[in-house]
Amino acid sequence: LRTAVHHFFASKGIDPCMTEGLLWYSDELDRVGFMQNGSMMARALHPDRFPKWALYGASMPQYVAGDSLSDVVLVEDILSALKVNYATGRTAVAVLGTSLKAETKLLLSETQTALVMLDGDPAGRQGSIPMLREVRFLGANARIALTPRGLDPKDLTLSRIRNLIPCPTELN
């Protein structure tokens, strides 16, 4: 990968091995992209670039990092999903915001246990309880893991993520 991409990931606490085989990079656009189901979300590498995230393709209601949807951790963004999945081995679903889209609700309809772990900013705190209620309404046993104030899950160390996320059996 390019040096700019490595620097960007390092600034977000993301080890390149967490993204192996998942990336697209454009020198011209200065963006790194994450592809899934024929669409791509591309993140600007520089903080002053607008928009921060750009969609290429029809739609991407969520980004799934992991294989099984029976036990999931719900986070706001793709980088947090990659890091939570890497730290815990649990499937992490980036809901790409603080609320569940109709497509994401359908995806989660067979989920048995879910942990809502949104960002530690005001929007994430305000979105956690409504999301918890929606996931429970879908039939999942769900709880909230509060990310420390001012931080995203991607900002946390791997061990801190593991400490905040209970084992699935502890959710019952």
Residue 27, pLDDT score: 86
How do residues 51-62 score in pLDDT, each as one tens digit? 999 999 989 999
Q: Please, which residues have CB within 8 angstroms of residue 2's CB and are 6 or more apart in sequence?
A: 25, 27
- Tell me the C-alpha distance between 4 and 57, whole Å: 24
pTM for the full model? 0.93
Residue 172, pLDDT score: 53
Q: What is the mean pLDDT of residues 18-27?
A: 83
- Tell me the C-alpha distance between 144 and 116, whole Å: 5
How do residues 84-134 score in pLDDT, each as one tens digit? 999 999 999 999 999 999 999 999 999 999 999 999 999 999 999 999 999
Count of CB atoms within 10 A of residue 120's CB? Answer: 17
